[in-house]
Amino acid sequence: MKAKLVRESLTEESHEDRMRRRRAEHDRESRDMRRQGHQEKQETRAMMTKYQKSVPKEEEVRYGRINVKRLTPEEKKQQKREEALERIAMNHALIKQVNPSPEGVKELEDFREDGEPMPPKTLVLRTQMGDGPVIAYDQDADKGQFTTLGNALKTDYKIAYDQEYENVRPIQYQNWLKKDFEGKISTLKDGEKQTRKRKKRPEDIIGPGYD
């Protein structure tokens, strides 16, 4: 309320009239301030709505936080698969990946790097059923948070190629070379059924944790 610069005379108007006029003036100023505040809120809300509509929903910004698009279970599975495939491809210890075919097996058997054969303790991964690629890793691969290197490599193989964890089988290269073609791409003999756990045959006991 504006201050009065001229002293009001008590003889010109009563005290009650002056207070009534001042209250009316105060009420008018309060209404103006509320109206201005309401208008500013509406303008701010309109600007936020316009901005939100201009941003893709999966990257919509609200209250300073980015709302990431929610993925379906199938999309999450595909995302994990792509991440696992990328880790396999970028793994510094990856030596060779071949198809479970006669040509692929021969390529791995004849592998040479700078004229040197593959180290005997290289880990070779294949599946029980022979329905996945054969992948060779050097022993200096990073096992990360996993108990063993075999567990780490099996986990990425499982996700990337949609396999059961127990279906993925690591073997040392020196023992892999001794297998016949079927033994190099799979671990099941003719007529055997796929299982999660099976008793090791003597010829399959090839090293600690690698069957």
Residue 163: what pLDDT? 92
Whether 122 and 95 have beta carbons less than 8 Å apart is answered as yes
Residue 141: what pLDDT? 61
The answer for residues whose C-beta is within 8 angstroms of residue 52's C-beta and 6 or more apart is: 60, 61, 62
Q: Give, to the nearest 10 degrees, the angle between helix 73-90 and helix 149-160.
A: 130
Tell me the C-alpha to C-alpha distance, in Å, between residue 83 and each of 71, 108, 161: 15, 25, 12
Distance CA 55, CA 51 (A): 7
Distance CA 174, CA 176 (A): 6
Distance CA 185, CA 93 (A): 20
Residue 205: what pLDDT? 42
Q: What is the pTM of this model?
A: 0.57
Show pLDDT as tens, one digit a residue, over the chain (211 residues).
444 444 544 445 576 777 777 777 777 777 777 777 667 766 766 666 665 555 555 444 454 555 667 888 888 889 888 988 888 888 778 889 999 999 999 999 999 988 888 888 888 999 999 999 999 988 766 666 556 777 888 999 999 999 999 899 999 999 999 999 999 999 886 556 665 555 555 444 444 445 4
Distance CA 6, CA 3 (A): 9
How big is the chain by its Cα radius of gyration, in Å? 38
Whether 112 and 197 have beta carbons less than 8 Å apart is answered as no
